[in-house]
Amino acid sequence: MKPAPLVIPRIDALDDITETDAIIALLDDKGARGEISYVDWPEVSSYRPMASFATAYSREYLYIDFLVRCNYLRAENTANQSPVSEDSCVEFFVEPVPGGEYWNFEFNCIGAINASHRMVRPQPTRLDADQLASIRRYASCGTRPFRELEGLFTWNLLVAIPLSLMGLDADNMPEKVRGNFYKCASATSEPHYLSWNPILTDKPDFHRPDFFGDIYFARP
């Protein structure tokens, strides 16, 4: 069963808050929440760490706070546009215009990012250094890389993606966009591939706009 459509509220006060914990608390209290819980390819991996998100938009940004509890933690990729999906990773994909380009934002647990936009997977347009720098990231794991750790870990990553980067305007938001949220870690001892909206393919593939879910933007 698919999740209910996500209705993201507008909270302009987010832009005026400087403390990360206060932003997270406001998102937890008033943001839209979702679970990243679908094990789409159990024959590849049945492991399902706990993963969720809280989100809202403001005058300038789309805020997403990812929260994860997992058994292994890895952060070996430090450079932007590196294969962060090998590490403990959370992702947001969105198609702002129906039938148009979709955007992929992939983050490992120390905030390294791989981001592009494209019509089809083999033809990405990579975000440049300035565009990547405009995406704010706050990682509870810090920013230093580390090899895989074994144990029970709870971590969060707060990101703020400029609306203008995706061609969106807070005062003229589309009624609906389509997108998906993911949790993965392909090179850990327990690789896994989870999604908010289920994906019905034979093998792991997050680049499937045809399985994106409905996302609405509430008016203030």
Residue 1 counted as domain residue: no
**141-198 pLDDT, tens digit each:** 999 999 999 999 999 999 999 999 999 999 999 999 999 999 999 999 999 999 999 9
pLDDT digits (tens, 9 = 90+) for 24-66: 999 999 999 999 999 999 999 999 999 999 999 999 999 999 9
Phi and psi angles of residue 130, each rounded to the nearest 5 degrees, phi first: -70, -40
Around Cβ 31, how many Cβ atoms within 10 Å? 22
Please give the tally of structural domains in the chain: 1
Is 0.75 topped by the overall pTM?
A: yes
**Does residue 192 lie within any of the structural domains?**
yes
Q: Which domain holds residue 68?
A: 6-217
Let me know if residue 14 belongs to a domain. Answer: yes
Question: How many angstroms separate the Cα of 116 from the Cα of each of 27, 90, 110, 113, 121?
Answer: 26, 15, 19, 10, 10
Q: Do the domain assignments include residue 159? A: yes
CB 197 within 8 A of CB 38: yes
Is residue 188 included in any domain, yes or no?
yes
The CATH number of whichever domain residue 16 belongs to comes to 2.60.40.1190
Answer whether residue 151 is part of any domain: yes
Would you say residue 187 lies in a domain? Answer: yes
Residue 46 lies in a domain: yes
